[in-house]
């Protein structure tokens, strides 16, 4: 189950993500267990990550982004073109302090 974020929290996270570069890239093979493991590691380390999805078909892109969100228990903060911003609070060392609701 992914995290529910308020609009104010999403706006705050989008601002933080603006300068980030994509950390995880989804290629032609799509979303698999190794990619989800890589994303899980990136989210645990950074909490807020950009993912670039290299699918030409919009429906396929949306499907892969949905798989990433479900497979990582992350929240979809934003999606612009081929790039999605995902957030999941770190279990060990939380870095991002979200504003209240």
Query: What CATH number has the domain spanning 7-87?
Result: 3.30.110.60
| CA nearest to 23, candidates 83, 74, 78 | 83
Structure confidence at residue 4 (pLDDT) = 84
What pTM, to 2 d.p., does this model score?
A: 0.93
- How far, in Å, are 58, 64, 88, 98 from residue 25 at the CA level? 16, 11, 18, 26
1 pLDDT higher than 70: no
Give the tens place of pLDDT for each residue, 9-53.
Answer: 999 999 999 999 999 999 988 899 999 999 999 999 999 999 999
Mean pLDDT in residue range 74-97: 92
């Amino acid at each position: 189950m992914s995290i529910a974020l308020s609009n104010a929290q999403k706006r705050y996270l989008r601002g933080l993500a603006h300068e980030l570069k994509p950390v995880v890239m989804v290629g032609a093979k799509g979303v698999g267990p190794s990619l989800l493991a890589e994303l899980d590691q990136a989210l645990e380390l950074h909490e807020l990550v950009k993912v670039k999805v290299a699918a030409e078909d919009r429906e396929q892109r949306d499907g892969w982004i949905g798989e990433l969100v479900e497979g990582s228990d992350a929240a979809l903060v934003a999606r612009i073109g081929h790039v999605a911003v995902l957030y999941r609070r770190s279990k060990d060392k939380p870095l991002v302090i979200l504003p209240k609701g």
